[in-house]
Amino acid sequence: MGPSGVPSCSSDAWYIDFGVGRLRFGAARYQTWRVLVISNSPDDFCGIRLAANDQVWAPTYYARTFLEILSGYNLAGSTVLDFGCGSGVLAIACAKAGARVVGSDINPHAVKLAKLNARLNDVRVEFLQSDRFRGLENFKGSVDLIVANTPSLPGRAAEVVDRENADAYNENGDGRELLDVVIREGVMWCKPGGMLLSCTNSEQNFKLSHELLRQHWSEISTVGVKEFEFDLPMLARYRDEWLSRGALFERGGLIFHKVEFFAARK
Ligand SMILES: C[S@@+](CC[C@H](N)C(=O)[O-])C[C@H]1O[C@@H](n2cnc3c(N)ncnc32)[C@H](O)[C@@H]1O
């Protein structure tokens, strides 16, 4: 647990857990019993209990790093918007730290799952279905912190087999679509002095991200830089181009990318 009350963590793990199963007998009788579930699903992700749904983006090393950074902030009493909330992991962490939190996602399954996850963690969070900032007008000018782990995989959703990963794709193919939206428009949702906490990666072109940030925000700071192994089989068609332009790099026979986490002030 960090000083702010946001749980922090540093590793993935395999989980062996007891879940609750229900068996239906006849027309209306149910028997409930405990079953042993062995999975690598993040049902306890950095101290946050998360139910999973294969139609919703599951937290990864990105979310883990956001939690590490958030654990250093004092969020008590602040208003937070978790933009693209997915499972609700970041929103729930902020609510645990005493913030009033709104989470939004275009995926209706995510909204439903995030609501369930908030209940599992005994926190109140308002989750809304929203495409970009549409439908969030009530919060315009009232947010202290936007936390945005935006989709960054390039390509078109139709190229991806499973829906879970399709949710992280950007229709315009350069992996910047939602990042650009949050940098350009997020400022209107913040109070004066409000902050954006987000990230950009080496495939997205750091220079473009920095230029856009300077146009819309002030006091821009890098709050974390991480290199992560990055070799998703589905990205095979991009790999060579990205390696040749330095967006990916090889080390010890493995392929990595770099992710920069940044904070910016209105
Ligand atoms: C990389 S995931 C991050 C999920 C979660 N915040 C986390 O850290 O695990 C990006 C999320 O953005 C959502 N998303 C994609 N397009 C969106 C849009 N146009 N408006 C709002 N959310 C969107 C996806 O459904 C997905 O849940």
20, 25, 144 from 32: Cα distances, Å: 7, 11, 44
Q: What is the pLDDT of residue 20?
A: 34
Q: Is ligand 1 within 6 A of the CB of residue 123?
A: no
What integer best gives the mean pLDDT of the chain? 82
Q: How far is the CA of 76 from the centre of ligand 1 (A)?
A: 24
Query: Picking from 30-34, 91-95, 210-214, which range would have the lowest pLDDT averaged per residue?
Result: 30-34
Determine the CATH number of domain 57-265: 3.40.50.150
**pTM attached to this predicted model:** 0.85
Instruction: Give me the mean pLDDT over the 165-188 stretch.
Output: 80
For 107, residues 6+ apart whose C-beta sits below 8 A from its C-beta are 55, 56, 57, 86, 129, 167
Q: How far is the CA of 66 from the centre of ligand 1 (A)?
A: 14
Q: How far is the CA of 13 from the centre of ligand 1 (A)?
A: 23
Instruction: Give me the mean pLDDT over the 171-195 stretch.
Output: 90
Boundaries of every domain in the chain: 57-265
Task: Provide the residue type at 97 as one letter.
Answer: A
